[in-house]
Amino acid sequence: MIDWSGSGDSGSDDVLNKQVIASIVYNASGSFSFADTCLQSQEGVVGAIGTGYMIGSRNEELSRFFNGTLSELLVFKRSLNASVMDSIHAYLSTKWPISGNPVSCSPIPPNCTLPTDLSLLAERITKFVSGMRSIGQFADSLYELAHALLSLESIKAWESRCNGLNNGTITPLSSTASEKAADASYITTALNLCQGLSTVLNSYQDSMDDTKKVKWTIWKDTGCWEGKRGE
């Protein structure tokens, strides 16, 4: 019903032959679409989208279009917080009583699989920690080892939180959008830590410092490495 460039088909609720209150929000966290306050799709990359919205069509993609009645359209030039959104939803549901049952917000269990790039980095960093410790001359407080351990700890924190949400030991945030944003922040933090360590260790490649040479050798041996051109 409401779409924007770059949005995915992640909606989990069938609105066929239903009357719903649909809404979209574009703010600093990205774009989000809702049906009866249930999150249907989102795109969290700020700046990659938001150039325009389509109501009733998806750019004629696969001949998909909205074949129904649009009772009322409200447009705001600012992002609305949750309480304002709830007030507007109450206003519209009173003015246009919903026929039949509203969309049921069945929560989608979070996906606890690490993104591929982060998973590969985590694997290399785990091997790097083992290699550094096996030599027996580096303490865990050493910068590179401490950075590596912090990177792995951040991933464990995300996995623990994700598993807790799945098994019910952790209560999700009341706002679905906020919950998604919180989940994304864990991944972003872990990825930044891992990439930062990778950049530091890669910079040791041409170092004349004997200690850095040892660290570089261990890092190079942890996995695939793109050497200099011609090597």
Domain residue extents for the chain: 2-95, 116-220
**In a 10 Å sphere around its CB, with 0-12 CB exposed, 13-18 middle and 19+ buried, how is residue 190 labelled?**
buried
The pLDDT of 164-176, averaged and rounded, is 76
d(CA 118, CA 15): 36
Q: If pLDDT is split at 50, 70 and 90, which confidence band does 61 have?
A: low
Tokens coding 76 = 């705001």
Asked whether the beta carbons of 166 and 112 are under 8 A apart, the reply is yes
Cα-Cα end-to-end distance for the chain: 54
What pLDDT score does 63 carry? 66
pLDDT tens digits for range 134-145: 998 899 999 999
User: Tokens for 30?
Assistant: 């990205």
Is the whole-model pTM more than 0.85?
Answer: no
* 150 token code pair: 């912090």
In whole angstroms, give the CA distance from residue 174 to residue 220: 45
- Determine whether 162 is exposed, middle or buried from the number of CB atoms within 10 Å of its CB (0-12, 13-18, 19+): buried
Nearest-angstrom CA–CA distance, 172 and 149? 27
Mind listing the pLDDT tens digit for each residue in 84-126? 888 898 899 899 887 777 777 666 667 788 888 899 999 999 9
Rounded CA gap, 62 and 108, in Å?
26
Of the pLDDT bands very low, low, confident and very high (cuts 50, 70, 90), residue 185 is: confident
Q: What are the φ and ψ backbone dihedral angles of 44, each rounded to 5 degrees?
A: -95, 0
